[in-house]
């Protein structure tokens, strides 16, 4: 089934996603045994030649006190916790500090269209029945064919029909991924097949007389057996803050913004041009989106990350494959939210800019704490080993630096949208 294939794609994509080790874990693994060894050397080797065991053991104890990596071990995770808290206050949920770190270097953003950049609320904006077919007949056939679907496009077709659909008339319904629907419908006591979908579906059934697809929306062709009944044009509305979000990301240095959609490429490009994206690719199935994102991952600049923004179950595989998957949490499917690394609960694309700003501030604070803690400790360690620093200086090098680093880390909790 389609769901089984999507779950398989998610598993495969997850297995190829690199996981960076935590810097502090790597650092402490080397740092701790090194400083303990140096303290032992300081306590034993110099007094063997110079005497004064008490003085050197005192220096070694001071050396051990100042070398304790409390400032790093406490302040670095605390900075990330602060960043995660600041993000959650903005309605942005991240599933780990590593994703917050990844968001700081976001340089390529890939968007799904429907439900992400657009509201996902479709309306039938054009009905174009074939010659000899009434508008009412066209809408009735389309509504019968789409009666079992909960897809936003199907809902808009039934709303345009405006009357309850007699489900007793509809028999077996078969959906072909990326093409459309075929439904068996009783008509005057005889069972007939109604086809609703794109140009590919009509061509497969040998149905001719189609008009060119509309460039401003999704075109649904409707046919009964081999008879072409007409077409419907369904349009989606762009989210209110989509243009603002794209402009803000551009101002923050995001160099490449791409749209991937299952709709026709012409429709995708028209929407992309309207909101200011760089590229748009249409007619993509879930597996095609994963392939395209893998190509974009190869093309991105070294040291930068790629984010994908989506909301539907068909976006779950590519959300897993991207460096950071971003799901719309309000209208997003459970599969998309589960696969994503970041969830925007308010469904506002502009929140991506907030997430990047918070992430960059947090990573900046982390770097400040690392440089400050290591710099002060190295200086005090040298002075202690040479006998220029007392135990009080060692206490400052440990506790004092820890307190200052923690106070600095707490700044990550505060975020004001600029």
Positions annotated as catalytic residues are 112
Q: Which residue has the tokens 């089984």?
A: 4
The residue among 284, 262, 260 whose CA lies nearest residue 272 is: 260
Q: Nearest-5° angle of CA 258, CA 264, CA 266? A: 70
Backbone angles phi, psi at 211, to 5 degrees: -85, 160
Cα 341 from Cα 333, distance rounded (Å):
14
Count of Cβ atoms closer than 10 Å to residue 285 Cβ: 15
The first and second tokens of residue 79, run together, are 């900075």
Q: Exposed/middle/buried for 375, CB within 10 Å: 0-12, 13-18, 19+? A: exposed
How far apart, in whole angstroms, are the C-alpha atoms of residue 120 and residue 331? 9
Radius of gyration of the chain (CA): 30
Give the N- to C-terminal CA distance of the chain in Å, as an integer: 47
Q: For residue 398, give the DSSP letter.
A: I
**Number of other residues whose CB lies within 10 A of the CB of residue 53:** 13
Of residues 17, 6, 7, the one with CA closest to residue 293? 17
Give the integer Cα–Cα distance in Å for 397 and 407.
15
Token pair recorded at residue 199: 């140009």
- Nearest-5° Cα angle at 384, 379 to 385: 100
Q: What is the dihedral of CA 341, 345, 349, 353, to 10 degrees?
A: -70
Cβ of 210: how many Cβ atoms within 10 Å?
A: 17
* String of DSSP letters for 108-150: EEEEEIIIIIEEEEEEEEEEEEPTT--HHHHHHHHHHHTTT--
Contact (CB, 8 A) for 108 and 307: yes
């Amino acid at each position: 089934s389609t769901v089984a294939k999507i779950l398989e794609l998610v598993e495969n994509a997850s297995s190829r996603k690199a996981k960076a080790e935590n810097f502090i874990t790597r650092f402490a693994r080397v740092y701790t045994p090194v400083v303990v060894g140096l303290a032992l050397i300081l306590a034993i080797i110099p007094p063997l030649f110079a005497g004064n065991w008490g003085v050197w053991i005192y220096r070694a104890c001071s050396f051990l006190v100042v070398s304790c990596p409390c400032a790093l071990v406490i302040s670095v995770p605390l900075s990330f916790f602060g960043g995660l808290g600041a993000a959650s206050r903005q309605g942005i949920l991240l599933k780990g500090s590593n994703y917050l770190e990844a968001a700081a270097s976001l340089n390529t953003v890939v968007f799904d269209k429907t439900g992400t950049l657009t509201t996902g609320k479709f309306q039938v904006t054009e009905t174009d029945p074939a010659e000899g077919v009434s508008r009412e007949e066209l809408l009735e056939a389309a509504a019968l064919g789409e009666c079992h679907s909960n897809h936003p496009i199907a809902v808009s077709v039934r709303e345009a029909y405006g009357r309850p659909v007699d489900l007793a008339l509809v028999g077996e319904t078969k959906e072909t991924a990326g093409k459309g629907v075929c439904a068996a419908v009783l008509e005057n006591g005889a069972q007939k097949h109604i086809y609703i979908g794109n140009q590919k579906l009509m061509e497969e059934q040998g149905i001719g007389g189609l008009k060119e697809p509309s460039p401003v929306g999704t075109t649904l062709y409707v046919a009964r057996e081999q008879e072409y009944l007409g077409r419907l044009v369904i349009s989606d509305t762009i989210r209110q803050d989509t243009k603002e979000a794209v402009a803000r990301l551009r101002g923050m240095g995001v160099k490449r913004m791409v749209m991937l959609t299952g709709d026709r490429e012409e429709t995708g490009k028209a929407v992309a041009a309207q909101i200011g994206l760089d590229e748009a690719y249409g007619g993509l199935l879930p597996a095609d989106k994963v392939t395209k994102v893998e190509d974009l991952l190869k093309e991105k600049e070294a040291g930068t990350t790629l984010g994908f923004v989506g909301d539907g179950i068909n976006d779950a595989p590519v959300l897993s494959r991207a460096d950071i998957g971003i799901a719309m949490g309000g209208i997003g499917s459970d599969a998309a939210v589960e696969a994503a690394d970041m969830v925007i609960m308010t469904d506002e694309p502009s929140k991506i800019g907030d997430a990047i700003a918070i992430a960059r501030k947090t990573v900046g604070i982390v770097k400040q704490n690392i440089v400050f803690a290591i710099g002060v400790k190295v200086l005090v360690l040298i002075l202690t080993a040479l006998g220029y620093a007392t135990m009080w200086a060692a206490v400052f090098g440990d506790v004092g630096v820890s307190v200052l680093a923690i106070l600095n880390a707490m700044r990550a909790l505060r975020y004001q949208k600029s």
